[in-house]
Chains A and B, each alone.
Chain A
Amino acid sequence: MNWVNSLLGSNIGRKLVMALTGLFLISFLFVHLSGNFLLLSNDAGAKFNAYSRFMSTAGIIRVLEIVLVAGFLIHIYTAVVLTRKNASRRPGGYAAGNKTPGVSWFSKNMGLTGSLILVFLILHLRTFYFEYHYGTIRQVYYQEQSQGEMATKVKLTVLEEGQIPPSGVDVYKDMAYIAHEAFQSPLYIIAYTIAFILLGAHLIHGFQSAFQTLGFEHKKYSPLISALSWIIGVGVPLGFTIIPVLMKLLNPLYANQ
């Protein structure tokens, strides 16, 4: 197994680890984003809460969660090792700085954007993950109500302390309400938006860089990958940050409570 150590301990090997974990984290980002879109369903959070329960209980997802945490930890650990080693390769630096034109800011500041993403990630886990699993999150159940003709509407009931729900209804932790609450705070919205701009900056360079690290380059496909980097780097943050806005417009149920 000497060769594995020598591969993983090499400069290229470390970048390989960054690229593989980075691309894996991007795939997770898409899953997360598509889940978040359930918040836009005008059903008092019924679909989103069902999805949240699935994501935090289903066995396969719990296993993937461990893989995800490992992915993050390996990405972060390797980032720290790489960034520190790289910084030591030119002790002292240049008096005149570096004025090479055409070098993207994104590519030079992956350590910075990554570290700030990490700060937000911790805040984010505190607000959502921790709250869902260990917090005093309110419990709700849903009942369908016929409304005139054919239309049915979902009625949301919040469970009081000690109250026993009617038999036959499913009780959910109201994760959608936590999201709604979080987005009431301007401070949270600002942090959330900044975090996604930073994530976008990380991905505009990171996505295409990962392919280069993996040794992929082709006249036909490389321009496509560069374009995709921008589409992902701009599109994913836009998707995430537009949800709180659209939630207010499309899902007014909470606002009326």
Chain B
Amino acid sequence: MKLTLKIWRQKSTDTEGRLVDYVVDKISEDMSFLEMLDVLNEDLIKKGEDPVTFDHDCREGICGTCSLYINGRPHGPTRITTCQLHMRTFKDGETITIEPWRAKAFPVVKDLMVNRSSFDRIIQAGGYVSVNTGSARDANETPIGKEIADEAFNSATCIACGACVAACKNASAMLFVGAKISQLAMLPQGQPERKRRAEAMVAQMDAEGFGACSNTMACVAECPKSISMANIVSLNREYIGAKLTSNQV
């Protein structure tokens, strides 16, 4: 396959960036999107040019590190991570526009790589349960119904890739935050810190500069892990409930 790529190049956070055209040839349909970019980068290195910086790690769809806003959609035309996107999804001769995730809370580090540590700070604000360490406890010590366990697990499958923020017109992080809040609100282990968690995580989400939710559900449509809208609704309920009833005045 021969493709024209329009790739966002930006030297650093504080410099202006722009789209630059590249042509790649002899791309196999069986390559992943990231492997296609590897081919481009090897070419660029041979020519003595600066290779394109992009995030990646596991390349098997589980870590959430890869990103890329491809042809107007996070992770490209399908609902899987970019590392799992294959070139057969594209047509020979096609022009592909590749941009970084864009959000005030995700500043560009270089080219297509953005800084998603705002997500880490939200989790640090309350996306955990506090337990005393010691010897491992029995796995079935606290009974949890199958339905709840499944629902909580579904929420826990969020890989924090940020596609939800990238897709949202308001660059809102409600789906990401909602997944963690609902997961822990459903489980007995999450109860002691439930209200404090909701208040702290939302405060951090707002402080990081993410937008409000307009319930357009673009995030849900793009989530590679199929995190559902129920997580956002639950976040609203948890946060409003916590604000109205917690002892935090």
Subset of 17 A-B contacts with CB under 8 Å: A3-B248, A6-B243, A7-B244, A85-B211, A86-B169, A86-B211, A86-B214, A89-B170, A89-B172, A95-B97, A96-B71, A96-B97, A97-B72, A98-B72, A100-B167, A108-B214, A208-B215
Q: Which of B1-47 contact A (CB under 8 A)?
A: 6, 8, 19
Cβ contact of A215, chosen from B171, B229, B236, cutoff 8 A: B236
Give the CA-CA distance A86 to B174 in the complex, in Å.
Answer: 13
Give the CA-CA distance A82 to B169 in the complex, in Å.
Answer: 12
CB of A11 within 8 A of CB of B212, answer yes
| CB of A12 closer than 8 Å to a CB of B | yes
Knowing A89-B103, A94-B72, A96-B72, the reply to whether A215 touches B213 (Cβ < 8 A) is no
| CB of B91 closer than 8 Å to a CB of A | no
* Chain B residues, CB < 8 A from A92: 102
B202 CB to nearest A CB, Å: 6
| CB of A205 closer than 8 Å to a CB of B | yes
Interface centre among A12, A15, A91, A209 (most CB of B within 10 A): A12
| CB of A103 closer than 8 Å to a CB of B | yes
Knowing A89-B210, A96-B72, the reply to whether A6 touches B203 (Cβ < 8 A) is yes
CB of A100 within 8 A of CB of B243, answer no
| CB of B111 closer than 8 Å to a CB of A | no
Give the CA-CA distance A209 to B214 in the complex, in Å.
Answer: 8
Mark contacts of B177-199 with chain A using CB atoms, 8 A cut-off: 1 yes-contact digit, 0 otherwise: 00000000000000000000000
B214 CB to nearest A CB, Å: 6
Size category, A interface: 35 or more
Q: Closest chain A residue to B98 by CB distance?
A: A96
CB of B218 within 8 A of CB of A98, answer yes
| CB of A13 closer than 8 Å to a CB of B | yes
A182 CB to nearest B CB, Å: 34
CB of A215 within 8 A of CB of B69, answer no
* Chain B residues, CB < 8 A from A209: 214-215
CB of B73 within 8 A of CB of A217, answer no
CB of A86 within 8 A of CB of B212, answer yes
Give residues in B with beta carbon < 8 Å to A: 6, 8, 19, 69, 71-73, 97, 99, 102-105, 167, 169-172, 202-203, 205-206, 209-218, 221-222, 229-230, 232-241, 243-244, 246, 248-249
CB of A100 within 8 A of CB of B233, answer no
CB of A108 within 8 A of CB of B172, answer no
CB of A107 within 8 A of CB of B215, answer yes
The B interface, classified by DSSP as helix, strand, loop or mixed, is mixed
CB of A10 within 8 A of CB of B202, answer yes
Interface centre among A14, A93, A107 (most CB of B within 10 A): A107
* Chain A residues, CB < 8 A from B69: 94, 96
Give the CA-CA distance A16 to B244 in the complex, in Å.
Answer: 12
* Chain A residues, CB < 8 A from B229: 212, 217
Knowing A89-B171, A100-B167, the reply to whether A94 touches B102 (Cβ < 8 A) is yes
* Chain A residues, CB < 8 A from B214: 86, 107-108, 110, 209
CB of B99 within 8 A of CB of A94, answer yes
Cβ contact of B169, chosen from A14, A98, A101, A205, cutoff 8 A: A98
Give the CA-CA distance A85 to B6 in the complex, in Å.
Answer: 30
Q: Closest chain B residue to A213 by CB distance?
A: B236
Interface centre among B19, B217, B221, B238 (most CB of A within 10 A): B217
Knowing A90-B103, A101-B221, the reply to whether A212 touches B215 (Cβ < 8 A) is yes
CB of A3 within 8 A of CB of B243, answer yes
Give the CA-CA distance A131 to B246 in the complex, in Å.
Answer: 50
CB of B73 within 8 A of CB of A99, answer yes
Interface centre among A10, A82, A104, A209 (most CB of B within 10 A): A10
Give the CA-CA distance A90 to B170 in the complex, in Å.
Answer: 7
> Considering the complex of A and B, which 7 residue pairs feature the smallest CB-CB distances, nearest first?
A215-B237, A99-B72, A89-B211, A11-B212, A86-B170, A89-B171, A96-B72
